Chains A and B, each alone.
Chain A
Amino acid sequence: MQASRARLFKEYKEVQREKVADPDIQLVCDDSNIFKWTALIKGPSETPYEGGVFQLAFSVPEQYPLQPPQVRFLTKIFHPNVHFKTGEICLDILKNAWSPAWTLQSVCRAIIALMAHPEPDSPLNCDSGNLLRSGDVRGFQSMAKMYTRLAAMPKKGRIFST
């Protein structure tokens, strides 16, 4: 408990310093609970998510950093490795490939990388995965773009799937 708190506090201070350094990621710690974080990440350019801002919710276990944090999308997103309803993310570093040397910040970076490089062979969103697997890149992109517009464009109000 103490170790995870100390570590999270260090990450918190780091985030305050790095805020300007990484404009794509904005990590915010919950006011009352250091084990709850949210993040706003920018959709990577040259992807259907470009222009969108996606909100992530972090739930950090007491064994952190020996155990990975639980992360899910709060913003609806059409992506093969994200559950369309719950926002759950299928990413190896959040499961068995976790290393305690990862930070919340680096997890965000990994999620951005996942958005740019979906892995349709292990899909949580089968419709999305099937579009890519059948080679219908255009179909996938237009669907993803539509949901980005609907849910992740800052000015048009967000749909939260809470």
Chain B
Amino acid sequence: MDSEDDMHDANDAESLDDDFYSGETAMDSDDGDAADYEFIDNDSDDSDDLLSRRSQQNYTILNEADIHLRQEDDIMKISSILSISHVAAAILLRHYNWSVSKVNDEWFADEEKVRRVVGLLEEPRALPNVKELTCGICFEVYPCDSMSSAACGHPFCVTCWKGYISTSINDGPGCLTLRCPDPSCGAAVGQDMIVSMVSHDDAEKYQRYFLRSFVEDNRKTKWCPAPGCDYAVDFIVGGGTFDVTCGCSYSFCWNCTEEAHRPVDCDTVSKWIMKNSAESENMNWILANSKPCPKCKRPIEKNQGCMHITCTPPCKFEFCWLCLGAWSDHGERTGGFYACNRYEAAKQEGVYDDTEKRREMAKNSLERYTHYYERWATNQSSRQKALADLQQMQSTHLEKLSDKQCQPESQLKFITEAWLQIVECRRVLKWTYAYGYYLPEREHAKRQFFEYLQGEAESGLERLHQCAEKELQTHLNVESPSKDFNEFRMKLAGLTSVTRNYFENLVRALENGLSDVDGHGGSSRTGGARTLGAGSSKSRSSRSKGAARSSSGSRATDDSGQHWSCEYCTFANAKSATVCQMCQQRR
């Protein structure tokens, strides 16, 4: 059967997706990079978790043929259960929003009432048995054989019927519930009569409405909201997330039909989108498309994906697009870490000082909003750029790279995977800024924890994005195969997997409402504590697993006098330590 085939297709697509994740794990093991290997090993239970979560797909993508088939199936089902005609079954199902069970319930509870409400007569009445009849619309007299009627037997001439039906079709989907023109009669006009009476175009229009009704009136299905996409998604409510990926590769939230926004909930998203549209006029001037280079003040337009900007010669200043600080401050060697998500920190550093002091509360909140909006929007456009890059990669670059480096294209899969990961991460990261905006200021511990997770995830992603974008270029622009290509492969694949883990942890932590911060006992559980461990093992791969473990353990007694909180990264260190275990800043 067609529909089964298509379902297989959908499953195949999904399992490809799974391969993409599991394959990555395998690749990492091949690389043998000690630090990353350990990291993967460390978190292997997590990736199993991830796999099982992905495999239980709770939705089906339907193309037009599938929809037809399902509709037909349901109609046949009702038709045979209630022993009524195909046309009557269609009328019934449409009336009860295509719910087979509802039709059954109502019908067997009170058949007579259902018939009356829907307009299905038990016994069709034939036209009066006379030679000539008067049409109820044009009042002309016609011979009996040029008259027609619905099941109720009210006679109208064929011309008037045609006009009546086609007017109704052109008025919109209301034609699906067409009744006999006689005002006192509620008899439904069947699909067979309608289609046989009207022009080809109108019949097609009617069939479209009929098909659309099956998706739109049905509580279990929705159209994919992507422009120009004809797929519908059948969703099984209960369990799992609302995020679905359509056959057109657009990901959206089935619940609110906004673009996919896991881990942020629908309410936050709709609040955020409302806010964006309300503030957009203010935003226009705040968010000009360019920023001046912090050193030479020449305006710079960002047209590449990552946040690491290098000003053109002679300036060549390298800086972070978000905070406009020197990029060298963002590295690990300086002992600092990527802190651009920290509005509070930025304020303390004096970036917002001048304005802050002068402006009043109202403006303050606008600033705060701007901060989050800017980062939300930047990630959005980065994602778009990454998507375009991914497409270009697949269409041209991979082939070129394959030639230059003498590598079969099949061995370059890691690059596509890296880009897919970037696209997904940009999406998640984007929504974390909406989340951050609505995270109450007073929830200090949560905020700090959230910003920590976000910062880690973001810095991981920046590394990955930069590697995929910039380093790849160097390998593309060589004459002969570069020696360090294998290193590049290892690095990129490693970064991909590390970044994926960061983001899974971030998503999980946000989805359980950062509950690790709440319950002191609970922090031994998953997400957050593990992220701290994971974060440390990545960013300072020399440090042992043991340190990460003990650090997560020590979070349990956060606020007792036995710990001190690092002022740079907020990590709670054992009292005895003089150097922060997490960021290695001195106390």
Interfacial residues, chain A to chain B (CB-CB below 8 A): 3, 6-7, 10-11, 14, 63, 65-67, 93, 96, 99-102, 106
- How many A-B residue pairs have C-beta atoms within 8 angstroms? Tell me: 38
Say yes or no: A101 contacts B182, CB within 8 Å.
Answer: yes
Say yes or no: B163 contacts A3, CB within 8 Å.
Answer: yes
* A67 to B159 Cα, complex, angstroms: 15
- Minimum Cβ distance to chain B for residue A104 (Å): 12
Say yes or no: B182 contacts A63, CB within 8 Å.
Answer: no
Say yes or no: B136 contacts A101, CB within 8 Å.
Answer: yes
What are 14 of the A-B contact pairs (CB < 8 Å)? A6-B138, A6-B140, A10-B140, A14-B139, A63-B167, A66-B167, A96-B174, A99-B182, A99-B183, A100-B160, A100-B163, A101-B137, A101-B181, A101-B183
- Minimum Cβ distance to chain A for residue B56 (Å): 45
Instruction: List the 3 closest A-B pairs by CB distance, nearest first.
Output: A66-B167, A10-B139, A100-B137
- Minimum Cβ distance to chain B for residue A111 (Å): 14
Which residues of B lie under 8 Å from residue A6 when comparing CB positions?
138, 140
Output the nearest chain A residue to B136 by Cβ-Cβ distance.
A101
* A47 to B5 Cα, complex, angstroms: 68
* A118 to B163 Cα, complex, angstroms: 33
* A160 to B527 Cα, complex, angstroms: 77
Select one of B140, B164, B174 contacting A100, CB under 8 A.
B164
Q: Mark B160-204, 1 if CB is under 8 A from A, else 0.
A: 100110010000001000000111000000000000000000000
Which residues of A lie under 8 Å from residue B139 when comparing CB positions?
7, 10-11, 14
Say yes or no: B164 contacts A66, CB within 8 Å.
Answer: yes
* A3 to B160 Cα, complex, angstroms: 9
Say yes or no: A7 contacts B137, CB within 8 Å.
Answer: yes
* A7 to B343 Cα, complex, angstroms: 75
* A106 to B136 Cα, complex, angstroms: 13
> Considering residues A10, A11, A65, which has the most beta carbons from chain B within 10 angstroms of its beta carbon?
A65
* A114 to B349 Cα, complex, angstroms: 73
Contacts A66-B163, A66-B164, A100-B164 supplied; 16 other A-B pairs, CB < 8 Å: A3-B159, A3-B163, A6-B138, A6-B140, A10-B140, A11-B139, A14-B139, A63-B167, A67-B167, A93-B183, A99-B181, A99-B182, A100-B137, A100-B160, A101-B182, A106-B183
Q: Mark B133-146, 1 if CB is under 8 A from A, else 0.
A: 00011111000000
Say yes or no: B138 contacts A3, CB within 8 Å.
Answer: yes
* A63 to B136 Cα, complex, angstroms: 16
Which residues of A lie under 8 Å from residue B183 when comparing CB positions?
93, 99, 101-102, 106
Say yes or no: A7 contacts B138, CB within 8 Å.
Answer: yes
* A120 to B118 Cα, complex, angstroms: 28
* A67 to B156 Cα, complex, angstroms: 17
- Minimum Cβ distance to chain A for residue B135 (Å): 9
* A14 to B140 Cα, complex, angstroms: 13
Interfacial residues, chain B to chain A (CB-CB below 8 A): 136-140, 156, 159-160, 163-164, 167, 174, 181-183
Which residues of A lie under 8 Å from residue B160 when comparing CB positions?
100
* A99 to B174 Cα, complex, angstroms: 13
Which residues of A lie under 8 Å from residue B137 when comparing CB positions?
7, 65, 100-101
Output the nearest chain A residue to B170 by Cβ-Cβ distance.
A66
> Considering residues A3, A14, A93, A99, which has the most beta carbons from chain B within 10 angstroms of its beta carbon?
A99
* A100 to B182 Cα, complex, angstroms: 8
Say yes or no: A10 contacts B138, CB within 8 Å.
Answer: yes
* A7 to B160 Cα, complex, angstroms: 11
Output the nearest chain A residue to B183 by Cβ-Cβ distance.
A99
Which residues of A lie under 8 Å from residue B182 when comparing CB positions?
99, 101
Which residues of B lie under 8 Å from residue A14 when comparing CB positions?
139
* A93 to B136 Cα, complex, angstroms: 17
- Minimum Cβ distance to chain B for residue A18 (Å): 13
Say yes or no: A100 contacts B159, CB within 8 Å.
Answer: no
Output the nearest chain B residue to A106 by Cβ-Cβ distance.
B183
Output the nearest chain A residue to B134 by Cβ-Cβ distance.
A10
* A66 to B181 Cα, complex, angstroms: 10
Which residues of A lie under 8 Å from residue B164 when comparing CB positions?
66, 100
* A101 to B139 Cα, complex, angstroms: 9
> Considering residues B139, B156, B160, which has the most beta carbons from chain A within 10 angstroms of its beta carbon?
B139
Which residues of B lie under 8 Å from residue A102 when comparing CB positions?
183
Which residues of A lie under 8 Å from residue B174 when comparing CB positions?
96
* A106 to B137 Cα, complex, angstroms: 13
- Minimum Cβ distance to chain B for residue A65 (Å): 6
* A101 to B185 Cα, complex, angstroms: 11
* A17 to B308 Cα, complex, angstroms: 90
> Considering residues B159, B174, B181, which has the most beta carbons from chain A within 10 angstroms of its beta carbon?
B181
* A150 to B316 Cα, complex, angstroms: 88
* A159 to B139 Cα, complex, angstroms: 37
Which residues of B lie under 8 Å from residue A67 when comparing CB positions?
167
* A65 to B156 Cα, complex, angstroms: 13
Output the nearest chain B residue to A66 by Cβ-Cβ distance.
B167
* A93 to B164 Cα, complex, angstroms: 15
Output the nearest chain B residue to A97 by Cβ-Cβ distance.
B183
Output the nearest chain B residue to A67 by Cβ-Cβ distance.
B167
Output the nearest chain A residue to B179 by Cβ-Cβ distance.
A99
- Minimum Cβ distance to chain B for residue A69 (Å): 14
* A14 to B159 Cα, complex, angstroms: 22
Output the nearest chain B residue to A4 by Cβ-Cβ distance.
B138
Output the nearest chain B residue to A65 by Cβ-Cβ distance.
B137
Output the nearest chain A residue to B159 by Cβ-Cβ distance.
A3
* A65 to B159 Cα, complex, angstroms: 12
Which residues of A lie under 8 Å from residue B167 when comparing CB positions?
63, 66-67
Which residues of A lie under 8 Å from residue B156 when comparing CB positions?
101
- Minimum Cβ distance to chain A for residue B199 (Å): 15
Which residues of A lie under 8 Å from residue B163 when comparing CB positions?
3, 66, 100
* A10 to B140 Cα, complex, angstroms: 9
> Considering residues A66, A96, A102, A106, which has the most beta carbons from chain B within 10 angstroms of its beta carbon?
A66
Output the nearest chain A residue to B174 by Cβ-Cβ distance.
A96
* A101 to B167 Cα, complex, angstroms: 14
Output the nearest chain A residue to B182 by Cβ-Cβ distance.
A101
- Minimum Cβ distance to chain A for residue B176 (Å): 14
Output the nearest chain B residue to A3 by Cβ-Cβ distance.
B138
Which residues of A lie under 8 Å from residue B138 when comparing CB positions?
3, 6-7, 10, 65
Which residues of B lie under 8 Å from residue A7 when comparing CB positions?
137-139
* A67 to B136 Cα, complex, angstroms: 15
* A3 to B162 Cα, complex, angstroms: 13
* A102 to B139 Cα, complex, angstroms: 11
* A63 to B167 Cα, complex, angstroms: 9
* A3 to B183 Cα, complex, angstroms: 20
Output the nearest chain A residue to B164 by Cβ-Cβ distance.
A100
Select one of A3, A10, A100 contacting B181, CB under 8 A.
A100
* A66 to B162 Cα, complex, angstroms: 10
Output the nearest chain B residue to A6 by Cβ-Cβ distance.
B138
- Minimum Cβ distance to chain B for residue A112 (Å): 16
